[in-house]
Structure 1
Amino acid sequence: MLVEGIWDFYLLKSLPHELKTMTNTNELRVSENFPRVPKPCENVATKFFACFYEHGKQPAGKSDADVGNVALEKCKDAMLVYNSCVDAEMAKNPKEFFRVPEAYRMRK
């Protein structure tokens, strides 16, 4: 079982981001870097956000839990371009994690 898990990990590491998210959940997902918009990705982000805004609105007076998934399906091409652009740009300049000074940590 552990060997299969390791194999799955290495297999997923070699796949493009869009395929990883779809194989893990069988549903469309935005990048883990959403809603960041690096400068080189402004045009593709604008197209995706406009499409998602247009198709992702709740109908007036109705509650529809699937409206977000439907919007992602309709905007799939724009989303995949956005995901790949943002992920590539964020990989070039990863954010450095740092530990918050003791004075700002929550106390129990």
Structure 2
Amino acid sequence: MRDLPDPGPWDEPEQAPPWRPEHGEKPRYRYWPQGHRPALQALVDGRWRTLQVHSRIDYPDGRVAYQGEIELPVEGRPAEHHHRAYWWPQPGRLRVAYGTDIAPT
């Protein structure tokens, strides 16, 4: 069984699980300040949706995830904001929407 947050009913890119002590060494989190954040597009249920990225997560084994907020559809209601951390890269599932002028710290 994978250690993931509730994936919900969407077909979306693979999520990075929240770090737990049993996973070993902590990943490094780096953040972009408001007004300088990049964005990715995630293919969710066949439609590209924008993930407003606020942090990059670098794992000790070399993997990278980007964490942010994305609007996902909810049947019969307006789309809701959800927090997601997606593994990078995922060709055909994630792409750059726009970059930023500064590096995360």
TM-score, with structure 1 as normaliser: 0.21
Going by fraction, where is strand more abundant, 1 or 2? 2
Going by fraction, where is helix more abundant, 1 or 2? 1
* Structure with greater Cα Rg: 1
TM-score, with structure 2 as normaliser: 0.21
